[in-house]
Structure 1
Amino acid sequence: MKIRLSIAVACLGAGAIACPAFALDFPARKPGLWEIQTGEGTGKSPAGAHTMQQCIDAASDKAMRDMGQGMGKDMCSRQELRADGARLVMDSVCKIGNTTATSHAVLSGDFGSAYRMESQSTYNPPLMGRAEGTSVMEAKWIGPCKADQKPGDMVMSNGMKMNMLEMMSNRPKK
């Protein structure tokens, strides 16, 4: 589902696991170039995947996590994050327009070379005709950022390039 994938990308992929404030902190990702693949399904690789690349440093990674925390405060009535062995488990209840999205996500990996998130959500009332859905996000560190990239740069699967830090600095303040 495009809306859910966009939220997942904005909140988790682009935001380096950027989600609302939790008692437990997400690990910071290794600086450099990350390839992030998102899609629906639960196979080893996401079905119908979309791939993007993101250049980060410690400051841009933190800024995008902070942005996600701000978004979550406005949209979510429940946010829980807990460690389950080496995995992180997130449960949330968020409003997307008139729809309440109840989600359960499991994150695994080391955040230095790779991580994976599998999520399941229900929508009440249905969102764009769907009452439930699943998604998978896989991210891997592929090396230093390219010479023409700066922290915050994202290259979407269609080749469109944007800088998340610049977009964040241009958004209206509350």
Structure 2
Amino acid sequence: MTRQPLVFSASLLQTIAVATGAQAVDMPVRKAGLWEMKMVRAGSPMPEMTMQHCTDETVDKEMNNNISPVTKQVCSKQDIQKTATGYVSDSVCNVAGMTTTTHADITGDFNSAYTVKSTAHVQGGPAGATGRDSTTTIEAKWLGACKPDQKPGDIVMPGGFKMNVRDADKLKNLLPK
């Protein structure tokens, strides 16, 4: 696995966990089927990416269960609250000497479409960076039933890179102990 898909996979899984997880409040489960997720990151060298995620109720719940231990290990703060327009998430996480402070606004109905708009400030990392800011927007829309060759949990990224979120344990093993 190359570095960019690995970094993107970890970032995507954390973002999906924010959009589907249950931290301080119970988040709604996304409608079962195929979701298209367009991710745009401003202030980052990562290009715009559109991927497809086949999911069902069990996968969304498993994602939270699998990712929660990772976030508890690397995040000193992980809070999600219900708002008048959806949900808001605030987190502070430290991985490989980099501290990332993130604020996300989550809106939508989780049956046909939702949006996650987040801002992040990264401090530390290679060469003792003095701080970088980025803005990420994920626009997700429900497309219908999963394709015949897909199973719940499958994520297909540009270029055909495919992974299943049920393999999140493999990503956990890459984090520093």
Is residue 86 of structure 2 the alignment partner of residue 84 of structure 1?
no
Aligned partner of 2:164: which letter?
A: N
1:22 deviation in Å? 1.7
1:170/1:106 Cα in 2 relative to 1: closer, same or farther (>3 Å)?
closer
Query: Whose strand fraction is larger, Structure 1's or Structure 2's?
Result: 1
3-state SS of the aligned residue for 2:65? helix
| Alpha-carbon distance between aligned partners in 1 of 2:135 and 2:7, rounded to the nearest angstrom | 9
The C-alpha deviation readout for 1:105-144, integer Å capped at 9, x for no partner, is: 1010001111111111112226685521111111111000
1:172 deviation in Å? 7.7
Residue in structure 2 matched with residue 147 of structure 1 by the alignment: 148
1:100/1:60 Cα in 2 relative to 1: closer, same or farther (>3 Å)?
same
3-state SS of the aligned residue for 2:158? coil
Residue in structure 1 matched with residue 14 of structure 2 by the alignment: 11
Moved more, 122-131 or 53-62: 122-131
Residue in structure 2 matched with residue 101 of structure 1 by the alignment: 100
Compute the RMSD of aligned alpha carbons: 2.8
1:80/1:164 Cα in 2 relative to 1: closer, same or farther (>3 Å)?
closer
The C-alpha deviation readout for 1:83-123, integer Å capped at 9, x for no partner, is: 22022111111102111111111010001111111111112
| Alpha-carbon distance between aligned partners in 1 of 2:92 and 2:169, rounded to the nearest angstrom | 27
Query: Whose helix fraction is larger, Structure 1's or Structure 2's?
Result: 2
Is residue 160 of structure 2 the alignment partner of residue 163 of structure 1?
no
Is residue 73 of structure 2 the alignment partner of residue 74 of structure 1?
yes
Q: Is 1:122–1:133's contact at 8 Å kept on the other side of the alignment?
A: yes
The C-alpha deviation readout for 1:29-62, integer Å capped at 9, x for no partner, is: 00000111112139xxxx9420111111111111
| Alpha-carbon distance between aligned partners in 1 of 2:114 and 2:101, rounded to the nearest angstrom | 22
- What is the TM-score of this pair, normalised by structure 1? 0.82
| Alpha-carbon distance between aligned partners in 2 of 1:32 and 1:149, rounded to the nearest angstrom | 10
Aligned length: 166
- What is the TM-score of this pair, normalised by structure 2? 0.81
Aligned partner of 1:148: which letter?
A: D
Listed as ranges, the gaps of 5+ residues in structure 2 are none
Listed as ranges, the gaps of 5+ residues in structure 1 are none
1:150/1:96 Cα in 2 relative to 1: closer, same or farther (>3 Å)?
same
